[in-house]
Chains A and B, each alone.
Chain A
Amino acid sequence: MAVLEVQNIEKNFGKTRVLRDISFELEQGQTLAIIGSSGSGKTTLLRCLNFLEEPDGGRIVVNGETLFDAADPATRREKEVRKKRLHFGMVFQAFNLFPQYTALKNVMLASELLAKELPNYKANKKEILANIEREAQALLEKMGLADRASHYPHQLSGGQQQRVAIARAMALKPDIMCFDEPTSALDPELTGEVLRVIRGLAEQKTTMIIVTHEMAFARDVADQVIFMDDGVIVEHGPARQVIEDPQEERTQRFLARSREGGGSPSPVRG
């Protein structure tokens, strides 16, 4: 069974139809890359999955549980949204780390707050918090940031900040990790270290959706690729096929343009 089923998602901003009839499925441990030109609705789609936007139509099903159904008002209640969004982890283009906390605290904060809701929190407080810290340390280590745990975000490079942000999203052990152009805000020489970390996650069978402009990365790391244009899924297939042998004319044109532009499909470092 698929971890994630997205069915007929619609989203309008006023008169602009930003997402139209978006449907796809994602299997456990698979990586889906979403490509498409700017303004095609990629960010909006990830924001819908994370309940930052409410779709106007469609269903979102995770592990067989309907998290959102536009036709069923009961699934749209504010109170439950908090719990539901924990199925997804989100990594933003702009990192959005909390500047007043160290890297470690950025990773631990949400876990600490959620732990307070545990019935046995008072009794085992020390143990629970020690556990959270240990896990956060381990995550930072995995991101290659063991020696940066006590640094504040402004003391870190963009690539390091984004890796902290990945650790922060992973800390809550979401079913599906979402990345919105995780390297777009980075200097070119820093994209490699972030892509390397994401590649590592893919190799460990983390279920992921990655919006990216790095075509070579999508081809090499993703299992499937979706090409979006103007709010619709134009093409959806195995990564290598969509990037190297696209069937749709619009996909072909987009890929040709991105090859001219960034000289992109070169092998990814790392």
Chain B
Amino acid sequence: MFWEVTLALLKGFGTAAELFGLTLVFALPLGLLIAFGSMSKWRPFRFLLNAKKKAEWKKRLAGFRPIKLIVDVIVWIIRGTPLMLQLMIIYFGPGLVWDNNIWGSSTGGRMTATVIAFVINYACYFSVIYRGGIEGVPQGQREAGEVLGMTRAQIFTKITFLQTVKRIVPPMSNEIITLVKDTSLARIIAVTELIKSSEPFMRINGLIWPLFYTGVFYLIFVGALTLLFNFIERKLSYFK
């Protein structure tokens, strides 16, 4: 029995790890893009300030930053609703609205839908972390680079990048550890991740220990990640 459970859980773990890995691969860069969007200073109506008479509505419109607004609203919606709900909407939505289940009924289709939901969700969370990290680097650092004749690229690579990474690592490690546990949400659309793999042993065989055994898988995964993040934090602790 033990080996049977182990084999099933290993398979479930493989699925969870795949979801975890794919989410990171796509959400980490997408999050950066969203972060830039939410810091966008593009003001298409800025020319209104050149007018002689500056009415209040003109000033308002001149300060309007459309990209930032759109991105902020999206991030608010994604962070303000449960991932499980988003997953269900993405998976069942197309079938219900257009009568066209684009995901098919295969395991692969369900996995794709899950990855997309996870990537969108986590990219939004990551974007807030990136933004905090980028904006947390004092303006004086950039200015010190500027007055020393550095280019924007040099200021980024030589000065602000590492300081941003240092600021990002602790909140990022929290979020990534949450992601490990969030992979269990995929079972809502019948993706056989860890918990769903252990369920039959409880339901059919009436066993409790496979559930604890499942917990051990999470603990080992999270433990390994914690060690990794501690290592990175230690590597970056030579400066403040």
Contact = CB atoms under 8 A, between A and B. Distances in A.
Contact of B148 (A99, A110, A152, A154): A110
B162 interface: yes
A152 B162 CA distance: 15
Interface stretch (A24-32, A79-87, A129-137, A217-225): A79-87
Contact of B158 (A113, A153, A154): A113
B164 to A, nearest CB: 11
Interface stretch (A54-62, A88-96, A120-128): A88-96
Contacts of A100: 162-163, 166, 238-239
A52 B147 contact: yes
B138 A98 contact: no
Contacts of A97: 144
Interface of B is mostly: helix
Given A99-B239, A154-B240, A90 B141 contact: no
Given A98-B159, A100-B162, A109-B158, A152 B146 contact: no
The contact size tier of chain B is 20 to 34
B140 interface: yes
Contact of B140 (A92, A152, A153, A172): A92
B144 A114 contact: no
Given A113-B158, A152-B239, A153-B239, A96 B138 contact: yes
A90 B240 contact: no
B81 interface: no
A83 B151 CA distance: 10
Contacts of A96: 138, 140-141, 143-144
Contact of A85 (B138, B149, B159, B162): B149
A50 interface: yes
A83 B147 contact: no
A110 B147 CA distance: 10
A213 interface: no
Contacts of B166: 100
The list of the 5 closest CB pairs from A to B, nearest first, reads A110-B148, A96-B144, A96-B140, A154-B240, A90-B147
